[in-house]
Amino acid sequence: MQLNKTQASDGYLWVRQGLWLFKKNPLAFLMLVFLYVFIAQFAILIPVFGVFAVLLLTPALTVGFMTACQRVIRGERVLPSVYLVSLKGNDADPLTRKNLLILGTIYAFAILLLSLIASAFIDFQQLIPLLTEQKPPTIREVQELYTGLGIGLLLYIPVAMVMWFAPVLVAWEKMSVAQALFSSWIACWTNKAAFIFYLLIWAALIIAVPFFMEALLDSLGARAVIPFIIPPYSMAALTVMYCSFFATWKACFNKA
């Protein structure tokens, strides 16, 4: 396995490659992302255990989606069961399953720790009415929201770096958990310029564009059509972003 060094402009190329992959089988990818979102939202209804279960299985689900990307490129059929390929598939083995569950446990406890740290800086009880649109936000509440988002993002970046490639390195390259986490960190750090550009593009497409569209439709008096435009756009954009994860893998790692 060889680590590649990319250019900053490759971040844009990864987005384009994600779109190319999505267009090869949009229904399959939309089905997979919708299924994941549905399961995650259902799990939230189960106190504590539901969220922990989703976080625990996130590495295995990541491998499943990346496997789906491989199959679409090869022109093969993709079914929802692809999510379980690393746990129950023909290529699954006890050590891989164990390491993926260890990764999931590390990820779950990392998110729990970040939540506890963030709660020291953010008053979530005051932000809940704002997030659920129960009342018009004040300037102070908007500032607190963006401050909270900024703090959460800064805290999550190191976790994202060690987890970005770790599941695939464990499942496909048979690395140990420690080696996979370290290799993922090195890959992200080595190609940080491309990743920064890549994430800025997705921040614009997933956050800024829907916000602008909603403001525009609201100003035109067409607020009633917002549910028919923004949610489908957001789901499609999220799915393309997931497809682009495979592009980051192919760009950063090659067989030696």
Specify the pLDDT at position 47. 79
Specify the pLDDT at position 144. 63
Specify burial of residue 91 (Cβ count, 10 A radius: 0-12, 13-18, 19+). exposed
Residue 49 CA to residue 46 CA, distance in Å, equals 6
* Domain boundaries, position 36: 2-254
Torsion angles phi and psi, residue 2, rounded to 5 = -115, 135
Q: Quick: pLDDT tens for 129-169.
A: 555 555 555 566 566 666 666 777 888 999 999 999 999 99
Specify the pLDDT at position 136. 56
* Tokens found for residue 15: 């987005």
Specify the pLDDT at position 207. 86
- pLDDT tier, 199 (very low <50, low <70, confident <90, very high otherwise): very high
142 CB neighbour count, 10 Å cutoff: 11
Please tell me which of 71-75, 115-119, 218-222 the model is most confident about, judged by mean pLDDT: 71-75
Residue 255 has pLDDT above 90, yes or no: no
Q: pTM of this prediction? A: 0.88
Q: What percentage of the chain has pLDDT greater than the value 70?
A: 86
89-93, 113-117, 232-236: least confidently modelled range = 89-93
- Which amino acid does the sequence have at 91? D
Q: Which H, E and C letters describe 68-99, residue by residue?
A: HHHHHHCCCCCCHHHHHHHHHCCCCCHHHHHH
Number of domains making up the chain: 1
Residue 256 CA to residue 14 CA, distance in Å, equals 21
Residue 104 has pLDDT above 90, yes or no: yes
Mean pLDDT of the chain: 87
Specify the pLDDT at position 106. 96
Q: Quick: pLDDT tens for 36-90.
A: 999 888 888 887 788 899 999 999 999 999 999 999 999 999 999 999 998 876 6
